[in-house]
Structure 1
Amino acid sequence: MMVRLASRLHFYIPVLLAFTLWEAASQAGLIDESVFPSLSSVLVGFVRLLTNNNLLMHAGISIFRQMSGFLLAAGIGIAAGILMATSGWARFAIEPIIRLTYPLPKSALIPLFILWLGIGDASKIGAIFLGALLPVVLSTYNSARGVNVALVWSAWSLGTPRWQVPWKVVLPAAMPEIVSGLRISLALSFTLLVSAEFLISQEGLGYLISQLGENGDYPGMFAAVLAVTVIGVAADRSFLALGNRVLRWTEQ
């Protein structure tokens, strides 16, 4: 219990300290509030967005897009990484595509997704999917290749069919690094979400941030950014808790 409390304090105290310094600097006139509003005005803007600007609706749309792209990337990425590590043919087919697309800045591909998939949700989900996919594939592939061969031989000697070994032996053994890759992809999915909604969208938190900035409502804009931050942190903490449960299960 004390360890858990200390862990939470270690996370929250720096955040509270940063917020306190932010507000103190604003009240002391050290920050120009016309370009960097005070924390208190941002909180007022946050409440205003909740009541007047359908913040929850925009947040719900953004979460749907982000989770759709991320979950697609997680499922396909893990499967592709395991196949690459256990099948020479799969590695021969998939690895060149990974090498070609990995260095590309994913945000630069958003206009192409809009051209191919239109201005609806599909283009945003597609961009998020591609950006979140590659870290999952690479982390799964590298960790699966590092699995102790003795585990595979033991499974074969116990009569496990060859087609089941990748999923019953290799996947659980590689899970710690896969979870790390998924966490990186989760963070990237939020970045690509906001970038995609900046470019072309009529709803979503990225669109809301863009509109508030263009209208000169900087407290509201910072409040929308704060909303994205809160959602991202909540998603990360939830994923950590889920990841720890998954790792305990695979160890058993």
Structure 2
Amino acid sequence: MRLVHTLWRFTPLLLLALAWEAISRFGLVSEYALPPFSDVVMAFSRLTDEGLWAHTAQSLYRGATGFACAVVVGVLAGVLMAWYRPVHILINPLLRSLYPMPKSALIPLTIMWIGLGDTSKITLIFIGCLLPVVLSAFNAARGVDQVLIWSARSMGAKEREVLWEVVVPAAMPEILSGIRIALALAFILLVSGELIIANNGIGYLIDLLGEGGDYAGMFAGVATISAVGFFADRGYVALTRRILAWRE
């Protein structure tokens, strides 16, 4: 019964693949715009022998580095903004100026300031992921029930203990939600940056295949990074449940 349930969950994907193949094979859409699904599968098999995983690993290194730095700095900055007014006064104007800016507009600036190496892509991802983490941490810490804070203080807890042992755990669900948004942004900015300023990585490979007319390979590259993003999100959701298990 469990096997049937598992197979049933994959039925929509199977139907999508069949529809994709039929639409392309019967000429309803040009093969340049939508290569047959079977061609994409064969292109994926070919690319695995031509450096696909090396490009993917390079992309994951950039994405993970920028994302991890944004999480550490963002959570710390957001919580401190909510707890210490001078920190809020110092950081808030910068956040207000960066928030409405399209993050892709930072690509030429990172090239000009940092160059074409990995640091420019990591910086782009860091800045793009930083804002949702800071804002979620700030709003979560500021919205903690005051009764919890008063209770901790009445029992003699120091301000630092109240912050890290009461406020941060209570704010954790909203903080983790903001980090999940940042994770999705990391993949978007990663591919965007590599399409323009890279000589390796999955975004670079997608652009290279597209310019060379290998559209099936290009779709295989897109499918690869999409699958990596999907499993990263599922893994993060599982980790979040484990972290928040104490609240149940």
**TM bucket, shorter chain:** over 0.9
**Residue 54 of structure 1 corresponds to which residue in structure 2?**
51
Take 2:118 and 2:179, find their aligned partners in 1: how far apart are those partners? 22
**Residue 196 of structure 1 corresponds to which residue in structure 2?**
193
Q: Can you give the 5+ residue segments of structure 2 that lack an aligned partner in the other structure?
A: none
RMSD over aligned Cα atoms: 1.8
Greater mean deviation of Cα atoms: 159-168 or 90-99: 159-168
2:34 pairs with one of 29, 33, 36: 36
Q: How far 1:167 moved relative to its partner?
A: 1.4
Q: In the alignment, does 2:133 pair up with 1:140?
A: no
Q: How far 1:43 moved relative to its partner?
A: 0.5
**Map of 1:147-162 to 2, 5 A cutoff?**
147-162=144-159
Greater mean deviation of Cα atoms: 20-29 or 176-185: 20-29
Identity of paired residues, percent?
50
Paired amino acid for 2:230: V
SS in 1 for 2:27: coil
Q: How far 1:155 moved relative to its partner?
A: 1.1
Q: How far 1:16 moved relative to its partner?
A: 3.0
Take 2:200 and 2:112, find their aligned partners in 1: how far apart are those partners? 19
Take 1:89 and 1:11, find their aligned partners in 2: how far apart are those partners? 51
**Map of 1:233-252 to 2, 5 A cutoff?**
233-249=230-246, 251=247
Q: How far 1:26 moved relative to its partner?
A: 2.1
**Map of 1:163-202 to 2, 5 A cutoff?**
163-202=160-199
Count of aligned pairs: 247
**Map of 1:103-114 to 2, 5 A cutoff?**
103-114=100-111
Q: In the alignment, does 2:120 pair up with 1:120?
A: no
**Residue 23 of structure 2 corresponds to which residue in structure 1?**
25
SS in 2 for 1:143: helix
After the TM superposition, which parts of structure 1 deviate over 4 Å for at least 4 consecutive aligned residues? Answer: 8-11
Take 2:164 and 2:8, find their aligned partners in 1: how far apart are those partners? 37
2:227 pairs with one of 225, 230, 239: 230
Take 1:10 and 1:174, find their aligned partners in 2: how far apart are those partners? 37
Paired amino acid for 1:36: L
Paired amino acid for 2:235: S
Take 2:25 and 2:206, find their aligned partners in 1: how far apart are those partners? 25
Take 2:13 and 2:63, find their aligned partners in 1: how far apart are those partners? 25
C-alpha distance after superposition, 1:30-65 (max 9, x if no partner): 2211221011100110001001x2001000000000
